Amino acid sequence: MRGEDEDGVRLRPPTHRLNERAVTWWRVQCLLTTAVPVAVLALLGALIGPARTWLWGPAAVLAAAGLAGTAFLPSWWFRVHRWEVTDEAVYVRTGALWQEWRIAPMSRIQTVDTVRGPLEQAFRLATVTVTTASAKGEIRIQGLDHELAADLAEQLTRITRATPGDAT
């Protein structure tokens, strides 16, 4: 059939959204990413008298851009990011401007990991990483509820164990 590979897997939109707490998690990440350079520029501007205007201007521009991105981007990412796991494959769609759709057939999966950084733990979220026998690299499903991520990793392990193939 057209659009399918040798495993019978077809490119299609994944059905599941991420956890809604991912929006707040992304906002905090954006704020922290913006706050550090803004604070450094502001501190240098306060300490270095003659360079004050040269440093305060970029700090203000960076702060405004960071706040605008924090307000807008996480909601957009939430609307775009999707994932799904079937008995045949893992489907993931990510990206805002440059969307990427990835499919990992179960027979190509080598490892399944869950990761919970400090911020993810604070928001009870986790990331599932599926490593495949592909030059493109791993597939990451970020922003999942931590319990769902653990169940998903277990499900993927069970399915890949039962799937014929050598994952190479």
H helices of 7-117, in order, are 21-47, 52-80
- pTM for this entry: 0.81
Best CA proximity match to 56, nearest among 65, 69, 73, 43:
43
Supply the pLDDT for residue 163: 76
Supply the pLDDT for residue 19: 95
Element housing 108 (H / E): none
Supply the pLDDT for residue 51: 61
DSSP label of 123: T
CB 58, CB 41: distance < 8 Å: yes
Supply the pLDDT for residue 1: 38
Token output for 65: 């851009």
What is the spatial distance between Cα 125 and Cα 113, in angstroms, rounded to a whole number? 14
Token output for 79: 């609307």
Supply the pLDDT for residue 166: 62
Compute, in degrees rounded to 10, the torsion defined by CA atoms 21, 24, 26, 29. Answer: -130
CB 145, CB 139: distance < 8 Å: no
Supply the pLDDT for residue 81: 94
Element housing 132 (H / E): strand 125-132
Supply the pLDDT for residue 5: 52
Amino acid at 137: G
Radius of gyration of the chain (CA): 20
Supply the pLDDT for residue 54: 80
Supply the pLDDT for residue 8: 58
Stretches in the chain below the pLDDT threshold 50: 1-3
Q: Give 21's strand partners.
A: none
